[in-house]
Amino acid sequence: MGTLSGGNDLVISVGKDCLLGANSGLGISLGDRCIIESGLYLTSASKLK
């Protein structure tokens, strides 16, 4: 777990069995068994199709 840069008390958590690819980043919490591909930075403003 970590905190969002500048968020001070906003905790970002990653669930069990998650995989984060190289050079990826998160701005939201993830549940269990998630995969984030390399180079992807996922924030709350990201639009997914």
User: What is the C-alpha to C-alpha distance for residues 36 and 49, in angstroms, rounded to an integer?
Assistant: 15
- Cβ(4)–Cβ(26) below 8 Å: no
User: What is the C-alpha to C-alpha distance for residues 21 and 41, in angstroms, rounded to an integer?
Assistant: 10
Per-residue pLDDT of the chain (49 residues; tens, 9 = 90+): 455 566 667 778 899 999 999 999 888 899 999 999 999 998 888 887 7
Residue 14, pLDDT score: 92
Residue 6, pLDDT score: 61
Residue 19, pLDDT score: 94
Residue 10, pLDDT score: 74
Residue 43, pLDDT score: 86
Per-residue DSSP letter, 35? E
